[in-house]
Structure 1
Amino acid sequence: MTTERKVAKFFNLTDENWMKHSNPWSVWTRYSVLPLIVFAFWSRIWIGWWCLVPGIVSLLWMFFNPIFFPRPSSTKNWASRSVMGERVFLNRDTIKIPEIHTGGIHTILNLISSSGMILAIWATVTYSVWGAILGIALAYLGKSWYLDRMVWLYNDMKEKNEEYKSWEY
């Protein structure tokens, strides 16, 4: 079982929920999660332990966002294809993907994104504005580039697999 499949299982991404997550509103609003979490825990300087309330709400938003929106009216857009590409990528242990998509670039991009998240967390603890901005920017640079690779993967695989092709409408 791939790591991505374990994450999808944690977020309850069933076939139907994957299609809900492919709604562009789900993809684009998910970009709000890290700044909301940083701001929520940063606010401890002003509101003390009450910062846990927006912090927990932000974490709940991260968890429920993929299933919050309805299926999109069309999946012929970058955001939807990025999610469908993620789904193809997590299936790589059962349906082979082209070699060009199996290199270490995904690991590098996830390391960039993870480094940004770690920097953002450190910056939140130490109240470093520039660290938080740089951390969030790095996290989103890595994630956006990763999602762009997923669009490429989906576009390559949809003509090779009928199920994948059926996701686009």
Structure 2
Amino acid sequence: MTVGKRIASLFRMDDDTWARHANPWSVWSRTTVLPLLILAAWSRVWIGWWALVPGAAALLWTWFNPRLFGRPHSFDHWASKSVLGERVWTNRDENPVPEHHRVVPNVLNGVNGVGTLFVIWGVVQLSIWPTVFGTALVYASKLWYLDRMVWLYEDTHP
């Protein structure tokens, strides 16, 4: 089972949830999760242990977001195709993806992981530069990854 499949299972992503998450409003509003988590973690300086409250709210938003919006009227949007491609990628152990799509998503997820480590370092140390640098790496790699998912979807669903 792929890591993506485990995460989808943890988030209870069924067919309806995937379709609702393909709504562009869901895709774009989900980009707020990382800044919310960073702000929640950083807020420990100002509000102490109460920082767990906005942290928990940000995590709940991560789970709730794919369920909040309705199915899109059309799946022709770039954002919708990125989610549908992500689902293809998640299921690649059952339905192998074309050879030319097998390396770059893993590399981009690795870059995302490195960015996440910088964010964690920055937040723990309350240091701006690693937090901002890590956030830039996370967003650049994630958006590039989503673009690759659009390409994957278009290649597998002509």
Root-mean-square deviation over aligned CA pairs? 1.1
Provide the C-alpha distance between the structure 2 equivalents of 1:108 and 1:76, rounded to a whole number of angstroms: 27
**Is 1:117 the equivalent of 2:105?**
no
4+ long deviations beyond 3 Å = none
**Letter matched to residue 139 of structure 1:** V
Provide the C-alpha distance between the structure 2 equivalents of 1:120 and 1:129, rounded to a whole number of angstroms: 9
Tell me the CA shift for residue 140 of structure 1: 0.7
The residue that corresponds to 1:73 in the other structure is: 73
Q: Mapping of 1:1-169 within 5 angstroms?
A: 1-102=1-102, 104-159=103-158
Tell me the CA shift for residue 68 of structure 1: 1.7
**Letter matched to residue 44 of structure 1:** R
Provide the C-alpha distance between the structure 2 equivalents of 1:90 and 1:150, rounded to a whole number of angstroms: 10
Provide the C-alpha distance between the structure 2 equivalents of 1:93 and 1:115, rounded to a whole number of angstroms: 25
**Letter matched to residue 10 of structure 1:** L
**Letter matched to residue 56 of structure 2:** I
Mean Cα deviation higher: 131-140 or 62-71: 62-71
Provide the C-alpha distance between the structure 2 equivalents of 1:62 and 1:140, rounded to a whole number of angstroms: 16
Tell me the CA shift for residue 96 of structure 1: 2.8
Provide the C-alpha distance between the structure 2 equivalents of 1:119 and 1:55, rounded to a whole number of angstroms: 18
Identity in percent = 51
Structure 1 residues 58-114: Cα deviation after superposition (integer angstroms, max 9, x where no partner): 111112212221111221111000000011112222223211112x21221001111
TM-score using structure 1 length: 0.89
**Letter matched to residue 99 of structure 1:** E
Tell me the CA shift for residue 11 of structure 1: 0.9
Provide the C-alpha distance between the structure 1 equivalents of 2:151 and 2:72, rounded to a whole number of angstroms: 20
Count of residue pairs the alignment pairs up: 158
Provide the C-alpha distance between the structure 1 equivalents of 2:94 and 2:53, rounded to a whole number of angstroms: 41
